[in-house]
Each structure stands twice: as C-alpha cells, then as structure tokens.
C-alpha cells in the first residue's frame, strides 16, 4: 500500500501527516499557517494525493519551525510511501501557469536529495510567510524524501508564483510516483534507488 503516516514531536512543534499516493486529492489540513494550508491543498489536489496535516507549533515566535517541520514530515512520509520505488516511473516534470506566473518543475524520486530553487519573489513575504521559507520547505521535503527537485518560476504576483510552484510540484510528483503498467522493476541501473 502506497500510504504512510508519520509524526514528529519537538519542543517547538508537533506534526502528524498522512499521505496516500493513490488518492483523489482529498485534504484535511490544519497547520496553523493558513497560506501553507492553501499551498498544500493545491499540491495534493493537483497531485491526486490524499493528504492529512495536523500541526501545532510555536507560532507566537514565527512560522519558521512549523513550515520547516511540515516539510520534514511530509518528505519522510513520501519517502516511505514510495518505498523501494519498484514499478514507479521515477521522473516527473510539469509546467503550470497561473495568470502571469509560470512554474516549471522537474524531479527525480531516485533517492538523491537535491534542490535547485530559481524563483525570485518580489516582496519579503507572501501570505504572511517569509519568502525564504518556501525554498526551505522544499529543501526539507527533498532531504527527507530522497528527491531531486528543480524549480524555475517567474511572475509579477507572488501569490500566483507560489501557488503555481506547489501545483507544478504536485503534478510532477504524481507523474514520477505513477506505476508503470506491467513493470515490477526498480527504475535504476544500480538495482536500487
């Protein structure tokens, strides 16, 4: 079953995430960070993943620890849901426009963690989140899922740019984790991801 639930509890946050790779895009999201919930809803809806996120954190300090730890736990859950990768397509790419913004994403679920994030924002915050936390979120996800992710995006409106990125990652990840009909092989010349 390509479903995984993970939890992480620290002195700063408590995060529980459940992801179902073969879902329908159903979400139940409660991170305490409304803009992040909106982005995760876009990610799951367009990735066709069922996603539950429950998080509490030291939001009286700021949203940093909560956003980071959600990235960590989501990455861990994704990595375990993918498992050894047997039968998956492994690679995925997408280009998602949102009005004047465009996000292009390519990723590899090959077990090697790397993030290239080329998406300069116009302002210091978007939806109440410091824009530097968006690449930080994806870095945490990649490190814990073993995913290589390249993100290139532009646009005039920072909300549009951010949302296009989350949608594009969802679409590309859906393609990468899709089962290749009739294949039971691990998609690597090494024999493991």
CA distances from 121 to 124, 154, 162, 172 (A): 7, 8, 9, 22
pTM passes above 0.95: yes
Side-chain half-sphere of 118: how many Cα atoms within 13 Å? 7
Query: What pLDDT, in 10s, does the model give residues 37-69?
Result: 999 999 999 999 999 999 999 999 999 999 999
Residue extents of the structural domains in the chain: 3-177
Instruction: Compute the average pLDDT of residues 129-141.
Output: 98
In whole angstroms, give the CA distance from residue 66 to residue 118: 23
State the DSSP code for 190.
T
Q: What pLDDT does residue 192 have?
A: 85
Question: CA gyration radius for the chain?
Answer: 16
Q: Are 109 and 147 in contact (CB under 8 A)?
A: yes
Q: What is the DSSP string of 24-86?
A: -S-EEEE-S-HHHHHHHHHHHHHHT-EEEEEEEE-TTT-SHHHHHHHHHHHHHHHHHHHTT-T
CATH topology of domain 3-177: Ribosomal Protein S5; domain 2 (3.30.230)
Query: What pLDDT, in 10s, does the model give residues 4-32?
Result: 999 999 999 999 999 999 999 999 999 99
């Amino acid at each position: 079953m390509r479903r995984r639930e993970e939890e992480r509890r620290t002195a700063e946050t408590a995060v529980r995430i459940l992801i179902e790779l073969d879902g329908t895009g159903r979400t139940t999201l409660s991170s305490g960070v409304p803009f992040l919930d909106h982005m995760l809803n876009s990610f799951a809806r367009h990735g066709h993943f069922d996603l539950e996120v429950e998080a509490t954190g030291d939001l009286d300090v700021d949203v940093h620890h909560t956003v980071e730890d959600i990235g960590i736990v989501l990455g861990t859950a994704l990595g375990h849901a993918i498992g050894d990768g047997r039968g998956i397509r492994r690679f995925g790419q997408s280009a998602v426009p949102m009005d004047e913004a465009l996000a292009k994403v390519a990723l590899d679920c090959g077990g090697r963690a790397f993030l290239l994030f080329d998406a300069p924002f116009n302002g210091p915050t978007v939806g109440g989140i410091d824009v530097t936390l968006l690449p930080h979120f994806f870095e945490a996800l990649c490190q814990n899922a073993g995913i290589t992710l390249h993100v290139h995006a532009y646009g005039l409106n920072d909300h549009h740019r951010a949302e296009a990125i989350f949608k594009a990652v969802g679409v590309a990840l859906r393609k990468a984790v899709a089962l290749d009909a009739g294949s039971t092989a691990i998609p690597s010349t090494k024999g493991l991801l």
